[in-house]
Amino acid sequence: MTTTNPPAKQYLTNKELLKEIHLSKNNYSVYTKPEYSNYDLIVLDLNKINIRTIAEAKRNQAARLSQLALIEAQKTNPKTKLAEVEIDYKKVAKADVVFRLMTHDHIPLEPGRKKTPKSRGDHHTKVNFPPYQHFKFESVDGEEKLVCVGKSHWRGDIETGEFNLEGHMTNKLAKSFMLLVEKYSMRFNWRGYTYVDEMRSQALLQLSQIGLQFDESKSQNPFAYYTAAIDNSFTRILNIEKKNQMIRDDLLIETGSNPSFTRQFEHEATIRDERERLANLKTEDF
């Protein structure tokens, strides 16, 4: 008699989600070289790039490369420790680090898109995630300068190309959304509703629209961002269903029929609470 092991439980981590978000955004971007798609530090202004930020970028790259080296080393020797393959950030060259600049400079202007613009992005064409450019130090006419080596929402050459919105998220990120929604719908406060399937559908639709809007420059916790979006979608469907149920119950009462059990239980609870309140008032009078 053969026995089959139960399937392993599936879990999602912020590290996995961040990786898939990064790969998905790369599908909407172009780079002069594939390796320039990996950034070491996010900045909001090129003027903020100085000795301190360059050192921070070097540390980040050294940590990332050390993790990759550890994974490779453990393929042959599983007992390999990080300290054995760790890369000293001081050995990382300044010309090797890549900075991600959050900017709308390459996004076309679209005046009037919003009646009351609140941010710079409201003046530009709407994009599915915060746009950015990648920069690194290169020698130009014998002088070391920051050069653009990548752009989001772009097609063609960095200099002569054009704005483009075509792209797609990775299959793994899409499957992660499905897993998140499925796991969230199994929570005790949601799984009992008969319209939970509609909740799942609405949540998946919402994630497909805002999934890439997660901004790595503001947070490194996409899990919380996605679960909040799922909770909002579920709550929206719940409120709609409750409103529809109240309308149905009112119509049933007008025709002399019994309303739903939920309405009856709520009515009984209201009467019971009122009786307890009156009884407490009489006790206080004495």
Tell me the per-residue pLDDT of 186-210, one tens digit each, with 9 for 90 and over: 998 888 888 899 999 999 999 999 9
Range of the domain at 225: 171-255
Q: Is residue 69 part of a domain?
A: yes
pLDDT-derived band at 174, boundaries 50, 70, 90: very high
Count of domains in the chain? Answer: 2
| Same domain, residue pair 72 and 138 | yes
**SS3 of 222-273:** HHHHHHHHHHHHHHHHHHHHHHHHHHHHHHHHHCCCCCCHHHHHHHHHHHHH
Judged by average pLDDT, the poorest of 123-137, 150-164, 205-219, 247-261 is: 247-261
| Same domain, residue pair 202 and 120 | no
pTM for the whole structure: 0.82
Judged by average pLDDT, the poorest of 164-173, 227-236, 267-276 is: 267-276
Q: Is residue 39 part of a domain?
A: yes
| Same domain, residue pair 46 and 132 | yes
pLDDT digits (tens, 9 = 90+) for 47-60: 999 999 999 999 99
- DSSP-derived 3-state class of residue 140: strand
| Same domain, residue pair 159 and 191 | no
> Do 146 and 46 meet the contact criterion of CB atoms below 8 Å apart?
yes
| Same domain, residue pair 217 and 93 | no
pLDDT-derived band at 7, boundaries 50, 70, 90: low
Confidence (pLDDT) at 1: 46
Q: Is residue 6 part of a domain?
A: no
> Do 118 and 97 meet the contact criterion of CB atoms below 8 Å apart?
no
